[in-house]
Amino acid sequence: MNLIDELRWRGMIQDMMPGTEEQLLKEMTTAYIGFDPTADSLHIGSLVPILLLVHLQKAGHKPIALVGGATGMVGDPSGKSEERNLLSEEVLQQNVAGVKKQLEQFLDFNTTRPNAAEIANNFDWFKNFSFLNFIRDVGKHITVNYMMAKDSVKKRLEGETGMSFTEFTYQLVQGYDFYYLYKHKNCKLQMGGSDQWGNIVTGTELIRRKAGGEAFAFTCPLITKADGSKFGKSEKGNVWLDSSRTSPYEFYQFWLNTSDEDAARYIKIFTFLSPEEVNEILVQHKGNEYQRKLQKKLAEEITAFVHGRDALAKAIQATDLLFSKETLQIIATLSHDELDATLTGVPAVEISREKITAESPDIVTFLAETAVFASKGEARKMVQGNGISLNKQKVSDVSAKIDLSSFIHNKYLFVQKGKTNYYLIKAV
C-alpha cells in the first residue's frame, strides 16, 4: 500500500488536491504540518497530525513539524466563532519550547537519513519581516475577495462578533509559511486538519502566483465522537500528551473508555496496526464486546506510542488492580512499595496521620479537605447521591467518620467518585 492508500484506508483523508498522490509517488517529498503553541503541551487533538507526519516519514518522505511562534501571535480564526485573546510573548515562547520538545519525541531526526525530520518555527522568518514589506510582497498577490470567500472568514462576517483585521490576515501569514518552506526547504506538501483547508489553499495559491510553483495538500477529518460530544475531553478537561499533566494511567483510561463505535474508527487512525491485525481484532470484538478487547488494544497502542512501554505496563497494572473484583484482597498481599509502584499515575493525595487521629473527621469534611471535592456542599451532594465509595464500599451516610482504621495497611484509602474515578489517599 502506498502512503495515500494507507491513509485512505485508515480514514485519515478528507480533502486532497489533485496531483498530490502522483507527487508522493514521484519522489521523496518534503511536507509540513503546523502546530499551534496555545499551551506548553500538546493534547490528543494534535495526535492525528503527529501521526500523519510519522506515516509520511515511514513512507520515506521528509516531515517538517512547524511550531507557530508567529502564527500563534495572530490567532487562527478557523473554527472559532469569536475573536481570540492574544497570548503574551513570554507565554508564547514557553509554549513553543514545550511543544517543540514533545514533537521531537515522535519523529526521527537522525540526520544521516535523507528524510530526517526537521522542526521549524515560523517566528524565525517573521520576526524581521516588516509590515510594509509583508503587505507589498505577500498581500499584493492575494485579493481580498479571495480571502473573504474562505469559510472561516465568511462565518465571522455573517455572525455577530465580527473579525479583527489581525485574524483576517491569518490565512496570509500561514500561507506565507508554506511559500517560505517551498522556497527554502523545497516543501511541496502541507497537511493538517480539515479546518485548515482554507489556510492551506491560500498557501498553494501564493506559491503559484508568487513563485509560479506547484504545491499540494491534503487534510484529515477532524476526530469526532459518535454521540456528537467533543473529542479529547475527560472529566478533568483536556487529555494532554505531557505525563505531568495527564498521567499515563489517566491517558490509558481515557482510551479504554471509548465507545465501541468510536473505537472501531480510532483503532485505524491512532495505531499503526495493519489492516489484517485490525480486522482480526474487530472480528474478535464482535459478539464479545463486554471483554473490550478492542478498547484495550487501542489504549495499549496509543499509550505505548506516547508514553512508552514501561509507562503502559504500569498503567495496566494500576487498572487491573483498581478495577479487579478482588482489589482489596490483592492489596492485602502487596507491600507498601509494591503498592506505590503499581499505582503510579493514579491521582493521589497525602494527608497527615495526626490530623486524622486527632479529628477523625466526617466523610464530607474529609473529602473536601483532601481535594477530592472543592467544597463540603459538593462532597455532601455526591455522598447523598450514592456516588462515593471508600475502599470499594458505597458510603451514603453523610455523618460517617473517617479514622485510621479506615485505611488499608494503616496507610491507603481508595476513594471512588462514581464508577471510574479513583483517588488514592495516603496517610503520612
Interface positions with RNA (CB under 7 A): 83, 157, 160-162, 164, 226-230, 233-235, 253, 256-261, 289-290, 292, 295, 319, 323, 364, 374-378, 380-382, 385-387, 398, 417-421
Instruction: Select 180 or 270, whichever has its Cβ closest to RNA.
Output: 270
Instruction: Select 26 or 325, whichever has its Cβ closest to RNA.
Output: 325
Instruction: Select 88 or 386, whichever has its Cβ closest to RNA.
Output: 386
Q: How far is the CB of 228 from RNA (least distance, A)?
A: 6
Instruction: Give strand pairing partners of 422.
Output: 416
Q: Which helix (H) or strand (E) holds 48?
A: helix 47-58
131: closest CA among 157, 169, 93, 96? 169
Q: Which DSSP letter does residue 15 get?
A: E
Q: How far is the CB of 325 from RNA (least distance, A)?
A: 9
Q: How far is the CB of 16 from RNA (least distance, A)?
A: 31
Instruction: Select 129 or 423, whichever has its Cβ closest to RNA.
Output: 423
- CA angle centred on 275, ends 274 and 279, rounded to 5°: 120
Is residue 68 within 8 Å of 32, Cβ to Cβ? no
Strands 237-238 and 233-234, sheet pairing: antiparallel
Q: How far is the CB of 265 from RNA (least distance, A)?
A: 13
3-state SS assignment for residue 164:
coil
* CA 187 to each of CA 182, 214, 225: distance values in angstroms, whole numbers, following the listed order: 4, 10, 33
Instruction: Select 124 or 326, whichever has its Cβ closest to RNA.
Output: 326
Q: How far is the CB of 288 from RNA (least distance, A)?
A: 9
Q: Where are the alpha helices (DSSP H) in 107-219?
A: 123-126, 131-137, 144-148, 151-158, 165-185, 197-211
Instruction: Select 58 or 233, whichever has its Cβ closest to RNA.
Output: 233
3-state SS assignment for residue 275:
helix
Q: How far is the CB of 121 from RNA (least distance, A)?
A: 30
Instruction: Select 84 or 292, whichever has its Cβ closest to RNA.
Output: 292
Q: How far is the CB of 246 from RNA (least distance, A)?
A: 14
CA 88, CA 370: separation in Å to the nearest integer? 34
C-alpha cell at 244: 505531568
Q: How far is the CB of 236 from RNA (least distance, A)?
A: 8
Instruction: Give strand pairing partners of 282.
Output: none
Instruction: Select 23 or 257, whichever has its Cβ closest to RNA.
Output: 257
Q: How far is the CB of 327 from RNA (least distance, A)?
A: 12
Residue by residue, DSSP assigns 320-382 as HHHTSTTHHHHHHHS-HHHHHHHTTTS-EEEE-HHHHHHH--BHHHHHHHTTSSSSHHHHHHH
Residue positions counted in the chain: 428
Instruction: Select 229 or 329, whichever has its Cβ closest to RNA.
Output: 229
Residue by residue, DSSP assigns 194-223 as GGGHHHHHHHHHHHHHHH----EEEEEPPP
Instruction: Give strand pairing partners of 394.
Output: 389
Instruction: Select 391 or 421, whichever has its Cβ closest to RNA.
Output: 421
Q: How far is the CB of 295 from RNA (least distance, A)?
A: 6
Instruction: Give strand pairing partners of 408.
Output: 412
